[in-house]
Structure 1
């Protein structure tokens, strides 16, 4: 004799109960993980903060601005651990047995949890796409602005498209075959509004060097960039002779299409980008130091975040087969946690190959989801047949 089906009213109650339970346990796990990550980050950054005489205000500023990036990192693992805690508690208290006797299948459990997982996934997408890029850029601007020794900053290179930049004098000598300008910046200050030790290399379309320029300082004002302390070397080709003319020039405008925020972003090892910025970077309209493969993989991974969290819940679901008498003595939650960590590692390996250009962006993000979803589904079906 089959158990009676659960009516629509109790089904809505179950949906709310499962959603609230998953939200609360995910929030608890996320809070614990973020607290540990903040402590480890502050252990590393406390000395520089105190050396800059920023005090408690500086510590709090660093924690608040770095919080979105930590929350983004902790969210997938928090969903996995939250799901394990939820399923274990329900199994030990015989709630799972009661619901199974009422006609709720294991995939019925997942169906009740999917709306909450999708909400958490969409929150993760919003966090990664809109909040984290702004907070990390604000953190980098604050960190650069408060640096008493900006000369220890990171140097970087970038290209300026043809026709958009030239700082050398004698612009009439610029040939129609002029290609792009290659720029090297020693370091920046005042959150990207000042740049030091700038070297510009003006080249032809086929890569031949036309002129070089070294500027000691560049400052961004209301009318754009201005170079000072300029020494320019112009190379001229006449028949078979090649000559180089050197001269010092007064302050001159630098038609650099990249503003202070772009310079600040280029000075970072890795700066989070929104989806709109990624699309602009892929079309050459935004300065970035990331490869196209990295950008495409980031875009795919970002919008697959809800599916990744659903896979995390699937990996945690075998816990519902713990015998109630065994309780917390079972090793099954540990194995499920290990499967979730393995999923994160495998996704990271695929992603690294995508970043290096060894795999296309879809192949670097989708197969891991499919493999672990099928593996978790197989484990549930095998346990169901026993």
Structure 2
């Protein structure tokens, strides 16, 4: 039990230290770009801290896998240099069991990564976007262009939306029959999302096409039965939309989306596969524990582990991009990288153990 706590504490402290350093570097680089602008808006130090707090979940998401790799390499190399690995193996503890002792650290990082990317960030991103837009000087504000998207079977064009996603401005809804012919067009100055769900078109003008006949029917209000959710609107009108698993799932179930289905399928699967990058990184760092630093093998394995981790991130990003574009199966695009590199890491560990 003491050995397990020792290994766990050694790996956990190194991963935490790497995470703090990397997070601080990313936070500083991010603030260097916006601090002057925040101060020019008269928001002061409180504005800088508020921006940093809202950006933190996305930075944690970026830092998690690299911190696990760096911390794992530092921890296992220290255990190897101190001959702790040799002592543990002399008592009958295999290298696989030593790696298993460090696994709870990877699981904790995975849980933190998932929480930040799928629970916290989807809530802080709209708040940051609304705050940034509200504090932008009127002269510098850019009027966003109209956005077109699908909402169930309807094609929709809206010129803008409120920050909370409960209102669409200058809405045009196009409906088609099963053959793809336009049968109805609805134009309304605004569309509001009710607190109980569902949309209401205010002062709509309904134009129905029946062959060569065109019927125009104005109305005071009209219920718009649409699976579109207010969070879908926030994602569609965001400057850099990053759909969460919930948003991607709603789109796949006929919610509001402006990209191909393959993109949302990949994003949905990536939401659950992404945190496993931390586990892969820990496995890639594990072979260093069996290195002989006196013969120079340690430096080779340290460099190889770091290179393998970086290559994994690049390859995983490329496969995900191929999946989003529809050039590769979303399942293969999302899980191909983690499975391949995890298998390579386990193979290297087996060879060194043997």
When normalised by structure 1's length, the TM-score is 0.76
> Residues 144 and 190 of structure 1 are in contact (CA less than 8 Å); yes or no, is this contact kept in structure 2?
no
**What secondary structure does 2:93 align onto?**
coil
Residue of 107, 123, 136 corresponding to 1:134: 123
User: How far does the alpha carbon of each residue in 1:133-186 deviate from its partner, in whole angstroms, 9 at most, with x for none?
Assistant: 22223323333444455652353212344xxxxxxxxxxxxxxxxxx4422122
> Residues 94 and 324 of structure 1 are in contact (CA less than 8 Å); yes or no, is this contact kept in structure 2?
no
TM-superposed CA distance for 1:317, in Å, is 1.9
Matched, 1:153 2:123: no
User: How far does the alpha carbon of each residue in 1:3-33 deviate from its partner, in whole angstroms, 9 at most, with x for none?
Assistant: xxxxxxxxx1122222222222212111221
TM-superposed CA distance for 1:269, in Å, is 5.1
TM-superposed CA distance for 1:188, in Å, is 2.9
> Residues 153 and 188 of structure 1 are in contact (CA less than 8 Å); yes or no, is this contact kept in structure 2?
no
TM-superposed CA distance for 1:83, in Å, is 0.2
TM-superposed CA distance for 1:214, in Å, is 5.0
User: How far does the alpha carbon of each residue in 1:292-336 deviate from its partner, in whole angstroms, 9 at most, with x for none?
Assistant: 323333343333456433321221122224434468982431221
Residue of 237, 240, 251 corresponding to 1:267: 237
Task: Choose 253-262 or 91-100, whichever is displaced more.
Answer: 253-262
**What secondary structure does 2:108 align onto?**
helix
Residue of 342, 345, 348 corresponding to 2:317: 348
Go from structure 1 to structure 2 and tell me whether the alpha carbon gap of 1:213 and 1:45 turns closer, same or farther (over 3 Å shift).
Answer: farther
Residue of 50, 58, 73 corresponding to 1:84: 73
TM-superposed CA distance for 1:276, in Å, is 4.1
Larger Rg: 1
Which residue is equivalent to 2:250? Answer: 280
Residue of 163, 166, 176 corresponding to 1:203: 176
Residue of 270, 277, 280 corresponding to 1:308: 277
Residue of 333, 345, 349 corresponding to 1:376: 345
Matched, 1:102 2:88: no
TM-superposed CA distance for 1:382, in Å, is 3.1
Which residue is equivalent to 1:164? Answer: none
Task: Choose 328-337 or 308-317, whichever is displaced more.
Answer: 328-337
TM-superposed CA distance for 1:251, in Å, is 6.0
Residue of 299, 302, 305 corresponding to 1:336: 305
Matched, 1:367 2:336: yes
Go from structure 1 to structure 2 and tell me whether the alpha carbon gap of 1:383 and 1:215 turns closer, same or farther (over 3 Å shift).
Answer: same
Go from structure 1 to structure 2 and tell me whether the alpha carbon gap of 1:221 and 1:122 turns closer, same or farther (over 3 Å shift).
Answer: closer
TM-superposed CA distance for 1:195, in Å, is 3.9
When normalised by structure 2's length, the TM-score is 0.82
Kindly report which structure 2 residues correspond to 1:46-61, keeping only aligned pairs within 5 A, or say none. 46-50=35-39, 52-61=41-50
**What secondary structure does 2:256 align onto?**
coil
**What secondary structure does 1:152 align onto?**
coil
TM-superposed CA distance for 1:79, in Å, is 0.4
TM-superposed CA distance for 1:351, in Å, is 1.5
> Residues 145 and 191 of structure 1 are in contact (CA less than 8 Å); yes or no, is this contact kept in structure 2?
no
Which residue is equivalent to 1:18? Answer: 7
Q: Please give the alpha-carbon distance, in whole angstroms, between the structure 2 residues aligned to 1:189 and 1:280.
A: 20
Gap runs ≥5 in structure 1: 1-11, 162-179
**What secondary structure does 1:330 align onto?**
helix
Residue of 103, 114, 121 corresponding to 2:110: 121
Which residue is equivalent to 1:184? Answer: 157
RMSD: 3.3
TM-superposed CA distance for 1:38, in Å, is 1.7
TM-superposed CA distance for 1:233, in Å, is 8.0
Aligned pair count reads 349
> Residues 229 and 256 of structure 2 are in contact (CA less than 8 Å); yes or no, is this contact kept in structure 1?
no
Gap runs ≥5 in structure 2: none
> Residues 194 and 218 of structure 1 are in contact (CA less than 8 Å); yes or no, is this contact kept in structure 2?
yes
> Residues 141 and 264 of structure 1 are in contact (CA less than 8 Å); yes or no, is this contact kept in structure 2?
no
TM-superposed CA distance for 1:81, in Å, is 0.4
